[in-house]
Each structure stands twice: as C-alpha cells, then as structure tokens.
Amino acid sequence: MELSSVLSPQEQAAIARDVDTFNKTINQGKVQSQALGKDEFMKILITQLTHQDPTAPMEDKEFIAQMAQFSSLEQMTNMARDFSRLADMISGSEATAALGKSVELVQGDQVIQGSVRAVTRDAEPQILVNGTYYHWEQVTKVFEE
C-alpha cells in the first residue's frame, strides 16, 4: 500500500465540497446573527484540522492565533453569563428592598398602586401587590407609605 502526501485534484474538489456544505450547514438559520458562538468556532477549527493538506500544515502562528481567539470567545461567554447573573441578583435585591413600601406599576393601559406584601426570589422577581403578583420590571415608582 502506497501512501501519498499530495492531494489529487479529485480529493481537493471533494474537500472543497465538504467544506462548502459544512459552511452552508452552520450558516442556515443564522442570517440575523453575524457573530459565531464557541460551538461554531470549534466546528470550523476541527474541519480545518481534518481537511488540511499534510504536506502544508497550518502555520504555527495561525493555529496559535485561532486558539487565542477561541480562548477569548470562551472568556467573553463566561463574562456575559456572569453579568446576567449579577443583573438578576440586583433586580432581586431591588424587589426585596421594596417589601413593605408602596409602589406604582403599569399593566397594559392601567396604573396600579399598592403596598408590596411579598417578593419571589426568582431570576425574574415578582411582587405581591393588592393580592396579585406582578413582574418587578413593571414597577415605575417606589415610595414610603
């Protein structure tokens, strides 16, 4: 069995088709978003490594740059998740601080006023006003009774 380190034109065409098909697959349904997530980035990197020509491997600089980009993407994803958790905690603290105070909130076209009697401790806190739970986001004013 003879091993060839050079890709034939047919093999190069097949690889080009595979890469094109892969690119179309990951781009379907993502027209609105131009940003790549970490999963898409990993798919592209794996496809590159799988289909690279053994006689002309990826330059070390290119590979290191791509791995640095992936590391940055991972860190940004983690930061976004942490900021989301922080925003939820702040919202929950605000709602809890309103306990026992009067609030004004908007639901549809009507303005509702009442005293906050209970607060749920969820990612999206709700307050009990006049016997009904409302989302904290609906509150427009908080004032002393």
Taking the domains of the chain in order of start, what are their residue ranges?
Answer: 9-27+36-91, 98-143
Average pLDDT, the chain: 80
User: In CATH terms, is domain 98-143 a member of 3.30.390?
Assistant: no
Q: What is the mean pLDDT of residues 61-87?
A: 83
pLDDT, tens digit, for every residue of 19-57?
A: 777 777 766 655 444 566 677 777 877 887 777 766 666
- For residue 31, the model assigns a pLDDT of 47
The mean pLDDT of 54-65, rounded to a whole number, is 68
Stretch 89-117: mean pLDDT: 91
Measured distance CA(63)–CA(52) in Å, rounded: 12
Distances (CA, A) of 21 to 11, 48, 89: 15, 13, 44
Of residues 97 and 3, the one with the higher pLDDT is: 97
